[in-house]
A = this chain, B = another copy of it.
Amino acid sequence: MKMTIKEIAKLAGVSQATVSKIINNYDDVGLKTKKRVLAIMDEYGYRPSYSAQSLARKVTKVIGVIYAGKINANFNHPFFVEVVSSFKKTIGLEGYDLLFFSNEQFNKADENYLARCQHYNVDGCIIIGGEEVEPSIYDLDKSDIPCIGVDIVLSGEKSGYIMTDNNQVSALAVEHFYLLGQRKIGFIGGKKDSMISKERFQGFKDVMNTYSLPVNEDWIEFGDFFEESGYIAMKEILNKPDLPKALFAASDLMAMGAIKAIKESHLDIYEFSIIGCDDITASRHIDPPLTTVKQDKEKIGKMAAYILKDMIKGEINSTVVKIEPELVVRASCGTQQNQRA
């Protein structure tokens, strides 16, 4: 049933070497020979063995996919799944398949990512960054295996990373508020030690300063990117003597939690401006539909694929790319009339 190159060679009356050359499209094989061998391979449904090929070739055409960090970086994370999907499509065009490492057998803490990459001899890696990234990731980073990070800073010679320009994220939100005439703006961040959250918070403060808007400590809270935490954070803010009129939340889910809190308060949700971040599906459907800053997941995945591919080919070394976010305007910042023309 399962044929080997040897058997094909015998059947065709040629050497293994010749069959191999045909498989690999060498151009120094006679046309008739080639045709004959091809016909036989076809007839017997011959397929070269991957293991044997990679052992002999030292190239695998496989990319490792690693979800780093204990929190927030899972296979089914709504943001990353889109990024990886786009990455898969693009890198697939180059003939790469994707190997997803299972981490369930180990403590993530003990995991040795470099070892596994070496074991599988992957041509390169994409590393998805979560919170509390295990140190072993940085061994991989520093190795000579090309790595592209998404939402994680990598500094190895053969590593690059890509992420949304998080300063710009906050800038888009604050500018939108500013143009709507809002001056009293609050902020709900994600986990305090999250790099993403930190960047968005810093960006928020910077742009507020740019427009000479007051950054009121009373209106600043931190959650964990999930809905419940936004609800709690907003409750906290609503307890303050003076209240904001607008709020930028570092995730749509937290924005939705905040909306719930506001609805439960004496405030009119339609008098309050809210901007979220992510543009998840639900954002379109809630009441009021949520204005949000959208990350270009498609582009991030695509760029990651291009960069990794070029690093594997040795055409480039470490590269850092920041992707521009985009503001999606919906009703949550007041009616159309109030918005800039």
Binding site for B on A (CB under 8 A): 2, 45, 47-52, 54-55, 60, 62, 74-76, 78, 81-82, 84-85, 88-93, 95-105, 115-116, 118-121, 256, 280-282, 284-287
Given known contacts A118-B47, A281-B280, A88 and B60 CB-to-CB distance under 8 angstroms = no
From B81, B120, B256, A50 is in contact (CB under 8 Å) with B120
Bound complex: CA A78 to CA B84 (Å): 14
Given known contacts A47-B118, A118-B2, A102 and B88 CB-to-CB distance under 8 angstroms = yes
**Contact: A105 with B93, CB < 8 Å?**
yes
From B54, B96, B115, B286, A45 is in contact (CB under 8 Å) with B115
> Counting chain B CB atoms within 10 Å of each CB, which of A60, A102, A280 scores highest?
A102
- Smallest CB-CB A-B distances: 5 pairs: A92-B102, A92-B104, A76-B85, A282-B282, A51-B55
**Contact: A98 with B102, CB < 8 Å?**
yes
- The smallest beta-carbon distance between A82 and chain B, in angstroms, is 6
Bound complex: CA A47 to CA B281 (Å): 44
> Counting chain B CB atoms within 10 Å of each CB, which of A81, A95, A96 scores highest?
A81
**Contact: B102 with A96, CB < 8 Å?**
yes
Bound complex: CA A62 to CA B99 (Å): 9
Q: List chain B residues, Cβ under 8 A from A89.
A: 104
Bound complex: CA A56 to CA B45 (Å): 22
- The smallest beta-carbon distance between A232 and chain B, in angstroms, is 18
Q: List chain B residues, Cβ under 8 A from A101.
A: 97
Bound complex: CA A96 to CA B90 (Å): 25
**Contact: A121 with B285, CB < 8 Å?**
no
> Counting chain B CB atoms within 10 Å of each CB, which of A84, A90, A103, A118 scores highest?
A118
- The smallest beta-carbon distance between A145 and chain B, in angstroms, is 11
Closest to A87 in B: B75
**Contact: B85 with A115, CB < 8 Å?**
no
- The smallest beta-carbon distance between A228 and chain B, in angstroms, is 13
Bound complex: CA A40 to CA B9 (Å): 42
Q: List chain B residues, Cβ under 8 A from A281.
A: 78, 280-282
Bound complex: CA A98 to CA B66 (Å): 12
**Contact: A51 with B54, CB < 8 Å?**
yes
- The smallest beta-carbon distance between A113 and chain B, in angstroms, is 11
Bound complex: CA A75 to CA B85 (Å): 6
Q: List chain B residues, Cβ under 8 A from A119.
A: 47-50
Bound complex: CA A328 to CA B97 (Å): 38
**Contact: A49 with B55, CB < 8 Å?**
yes
Bound complex: CA A66 to CA B120 (Å): 20
Bound complex: CA A54 to CA B51 (Å): 6
**Contact: A104 with B100, CB < 8 Å?**
no
- The smallest beta-carbon distance between A324 and chain B, in angstroms, is 22
- The smallest beta-carbon distance between A231 and chain B, in angstroms, is 13
Closest to A286 in B: B285
> Counting chain B CB atoms within 10 Å of each CB, which of A62, A95, A104, A119 scores highest?
A104
Can you list 18 A-B contacts (CB < 8 A)? A47-B118, A48-B119, A49-B55, A49-B121, A50-B119, A51-B60, A62-B99, A74-B85, A92-B102, A92-B103, A92-B104, A92-B105, A95-B102, A97-B99, A100-B100, A280-B281, A282-B284, A286-B287
